[in-house]
Structure 1
Amino acid sequence: MESADIPLTSSEIGNLWMTYQEKTMLLRVLEYLLEHADNEEVQQILKSTYTSSEQTVETIKRIFQDEGAVIPLGFTVNDVNKGVPKLFDYLYEPMFLHMMSKIEASLFALYSTMSYRKDIRQLFKQLTASSQEMYDQCTQFLLEKGVLVRPPFMSMPKEVTFIQNDSYLSGLNIFKEKRALNAIEISLLHHAIETNLTGMQLMIGFAQVANDTKVQEYFVKGMKLSKEIETTLGEFLREDYIEPPATHAGKATSSTVAPFSDKLMMYLTNLLGSFGIGSNALGGAFSLRSDLPLSMARLAQKILPFVKEGGELMIKHGWLEEPPQVEDRRQLTKS
């Protein structure tokens, strides 16, 4: 039986739908960024990403059409305002794609493990590889430009050792000295802070240009929450005399003219918030020092209501497109 003869499963429909939303949003952002990118190498990365994203959108359209499904609306030309001033300065374009490549690589790798039809598995396998390639290109470029800080170096381990007692887990007991962070914990903290710094500049820019007052207030909340996350997680590194990542590039300009619709900016913020919840859960799960999971859980408790508030705001304005819904058979049991 050929793949096309096998109906899509609910997980495949849902993941294709979410990919369509994310990719159409990314196309609109890329259209704006391409207007302002003044570095030839950055332009090539943006164009390459645009072409691959456009192909993905067309592929998903074709799959839905073949299945007799309605094409999602996603984000259209009405969600981007061309010809407006630059909202972010020096090299924000590759920094934004660097952040998005982390999100996409995580999502598409997950989606590939939730797919069963051969053509859908192959699609998400390709998308995972494409997002990893985007990450490689942006990382190499930003490192060469000196605007991306590597995680701290450390001495190579010389022998295998095992944890001898539960003091290794100590972090909350004020009567026990906390051990130094291990390599896994440092890597997770660095990753979370690095991604959050790019997101914080995004919130600052969005807060400056949002048209709706409530939406503007929401972005200000996001800006403050980003700062709290960076400060809280950065303190763990500073306690071990490790400087958290920082960069002089990619700051928000003073422009107050919106390059995107409030709908698009809200969706992107919601996507970053959801990714932040997942990152904190991952960091907490792999941290063996007891104070780290607790701190990350507390941050997640602040991110979750922020994301929920964003969803409610989008619903109020009619911006939240409804995902495909199964037939409600519960009513049959009431008759």
Structure 2
Amino acid sequence: MEPTDIPLTSSELGNLWMTYQEKTMLLRFLDYMLEHAGNEEIQQILKSTYASSEQTVESIKQIFQNEGAVIPLGFTANDVNKGVPKLFDYLYEPMFLHMISKIETCLFALYSTMSYRKDIRQLFKQLTTTSQELFDQCAQFLLDKGVLVRPPFMSMPKEVTFIRNDNYLSGVNLFKEKRSLNAIEVSLLHHAIETNLTGMQLMIGFAQVANDKKVKDYFVKGMKLSKEIETTLGEFLREDYIEPPATHAGKATDSTVAPFSDKLMMYITNLLGSFGIGSNALGGAFSLRSDLPLAMARLAQKILPFVSEGGEIMIKHGWMEEPPQVEDRRQLTKS
């Protein structure tokens, strides 16, 4: 039996649907970015990303058509406004794609492990590779320009050692002195702060241009939440005399003209918030000093209601497209 003769599973259908939403959103961002990016190297990255994203959208459309499934709406030309002033300044384009490529790499790698039909596995495997390549391109470009801060360097270990007592886990006990951070904890903190810095500028820009008052207020909340996350996690680094990452590039301009629909801006904010919950869970799981998971759990308690509020706003305005729904057979049990 050929792979395409096997029906899509629920996980394959759901993950293809979510990929279609994310990729059509990205295409609208690229429509806007291609209009403003002056650097030739950035233009090439944007054009390459546009071509691969467009191809992915067409591939998913074809799969849905072959399965007799309706094509999702996603995001269209109605969600981007061309000819408006630039909302973000110097080098924000590769900084945004650097952030998006992190999310895509994680999502598509996960989706590939949730796929069973050969053609779907191959699709997500290729998407994972493409996202990693985009990350490499953006990271190298930003490093060359001096706007991407590397995590701190540290002395290389000279011998293998083992944890001998539970003092290593101390962090909240007032009678035990906090140990210094280990390399794993520093890497997780740096990653979370780096992503939030880019996201915070996105929230500032969105807050300036949103049309709906509640949507504007929501982005202001997002801006403040990003700052709180950066400040809270950055303090752990400062306690060890490590300076948190920061950059002079990619700031929001003073434009008040929206390049995107409120619907699109709400979607990307929801996506970043959901990714933030996952990142915090990962950071908490791999941190051995007990005060770090506690701090990340407290932040997650603020991110989760923020994401939920965003969902409520989207539903109220009719902006949240409904995912494919399982047939409701519960009625059959009622007589």
Q: Same fold (TM over 0.5)?
A: yes
Q: Distance in 2 between matches of 1:267 and 1:334?
A: 38
Tell me the alpha carbon deviations over residues 48-106 of structure 1, each in whole angstroms, 9 at most, x when there is no partner: 00000000000000000000000000000000000000000000000000000000000
For residues 219 and 39 of structure 1, the distance between their equivalents in structure 2, rounded to whole angstroms, comes to: 29
Partners of 2:29 and 2:137 lie apart in 1 by 18
Measured in 2, the distance between the counterparts of 1:178 and 1:334 equals 59
1:197 alignment partner in structure 2: 197
Show the counterpart of 2:44. Answer: 44
Question: Which residue of the partner structure matches residue 278 of structure 1?
Answer: 278
1:186-218, Cα deviation, whole Å (9 max, x unpaired): 000000000000000000000000000000000
Could you say what the CA RMSD is over the residues aligned between the two structures, in angstroms? Answer: 0.3
Residue equivalent to 1:125: 125
Give the aligned partner of residue 19 of structure 1: 19
Say how many residue pairs are matched. Answer: 335
Instruction: Give the Cα–Cα distance (whole angstroms) in 2 for the partners of residues 241 and 332 of structure 1.
Output: 64
- Are 2:188 and 1:177 equivalent residues in the alignment? no
> Could you tell me how far apart the structure 1 residues matched to 2:45 and 2:290 are?
41
Query: In the TM superposition, what is the alpha-carbon distance from 1:20 to its structure 2 partner?
Result: 0.1
The superposition leaves residues 14-65 of structure 1 with CA deviations (integer Å, 9 ceiling, x where unpaired) of 0000000000000000000010001000000000000000000000000000
With normalisation by structure 1, the TM-score equals 1.00
Q: Tell me the distance in 2 between the aligned counterparts of 1:225 and 1:274.
A: 14
Offset at residue 184 of structure 1 (A) = 0.1
In the alignment, structure 1 segments of 5+ residues that lack a partner are none
User: Which runs of at least 4 in structure 1 moved beyond 4 Å after TM superposition?
Assistant: none
* Alignment-mate amino acid for residue 334 of structure 1: K
Deviations 1:270-327 (A, max 9, x none): 0000000000000000000000000000000000000000000000000000000011
Alignment of 1:199-218 (within 5 A): 199-218=199-218
Partner of 1:116: 116
- Written as runs of structure 1 = structure 2, the 5 A alignment for 1:284-303 is 284-303=284-303
Secondary structure, aligned partner of 1:87: coil
Per-residue CA deviations over 1:237-291 (Å, capped at 9, x if unaligned) read 0000000000000000000000000000000000000000000000000000000
Amino acid corresponding to residue 184 of structure 1 in structure 2: I
Q: Tell me which amino acid in the other structure corresponds to 1:162.
A: F
The residue matched to 1:109 in structure 2 has which SS?
Answer: helix
Partner residue of 2:73? 73
| Offset at residue 111 of structure 1 (A) | 0.1
Q: Say which SS state the counterpart of residue 241 (structure 2) adopts.
A: coil
Aligned-pair identity (%): 89
SS at the partner of 1:132? Answer: helix
Task: For 2:30, give the aligned amino acid.
Answer: L
For the residues of structure 1 that align with 2:2 and 2:288, how far apart are their CA atoms?
Answer: 47
Rounded to whole Å, the distance in 1 between the matches of 2:312 and 2:332 is 30
Once residues 234 and 270 of structure 2 are traced to their aligned partners in structure 1, the CA distance between those partners, rounded to angstroms, is 23
- Tell me the equivalent position of 1:222: 222
Aligned AA (2:49): T
What is the letter of the counterpart of residue 100 of structure 2?
M
Map of 2:332 onto structure 1: 332
Match of 2:95 in 1: 95
Give the 5 Å matches for 1:214-253. 214-253=214-253
Quote the residue 1:54 is aligned against.
54
**Deviation, structure 1 residue 128:** 0.2
Q: Tell me, which stretches of 5 or more residues in structure 2 are unaligned?
A: none
Instruction: Name the structure 2 match of 1:4.
Output: 4
d(CA) in 2 for partners of 1:330 and 1:159?
Answer: 61
Q: Distance in 1 between matches of 2:184 and 2:231?
A: 20
- The corresponding residue for 2:262 is 262
**Correspondence for 1:323:** 323
Instruction: Output the CA distance in 1 between the equivalents of 2:298 and 2:195.
Output: 18
State the one-letter code of the partner of 1:93.
E
Q: Cα offset for 1:165?
A: 0.1
* Correspondence for 1:29: 29
Q: Which amino acid in structure 2 is aligned with residue 111 of structure 1? A: Y
